[in-house]
Amino acid sequence: MNSVIKTIAASLGEALAEGAVIIPNIIFAGLLYQHYGQYHFLLPFVLLYAFEKAGVFAIQGFGELKNPYKVLRCSLLLTILGTCLCFFGDLSFLFWELGAVLVGLGLANYKALFKTIKSMLKEKMNGPIKEQW
């Protein structure tokens, strides 16, 4: 039972790593189509894309990561905070913009960090087990 849960969790993490960036883009593109002709609804889509791409370079600027778990946790917290801000987008347009920036920054490094952590866990599990047996 425990191995089934670990397998499902790993599969969900892999699916999120591959598709996490697509979902916000679809949402913000839908926002743009819903408000056709109103140019300020284009800004969250552009901000999301720009910060998604810039986040990768920001992490690379820090050099080698000592603790990718901490960076991944902070990235996911930024994404959740940005999503919560987007819920209040009907009150003020500023919430859409801030939410898009935070979601873009949060999801920028998720795929790379997930693969790094996954490979670290594989090395950790395969190394000591082989030596013990």
Residue 81: per-residue pLDDT: 93
Q: To the nearest 10°, the Cα dihedral for 115, 120, 123, 129?
A: -120
Query: How many CA atoms does the CB half-sphere of 118 hold within 13 Å?
Result: 15
* pLDDT (average), residues 25-53: 78
Percent of the chain predicted with pLDDT > 70: 89
Residue 52 burial (10 A CB sphere; 0-12, 13-18, 19+): buried
Q: Of 64 and 91, which is predicted with more confidence?
A: 91
Q: Look at residue 110 and tell me whether its pLDDT is greater than 90.
A: no
Confidence at residue 127, expressed as pLDDT on a 0 to 100 scale: 55
The verdict on pTM exceeding 0.85 is no
Chain-wide mean pLDDT for the chain? 77
pLDDT for residue 131:
41
Structure-token pair, residue 102: 């935070």
91 vs 115, more confident: 91
Query: Quick one: tokens of 52?
Result: 């998604």
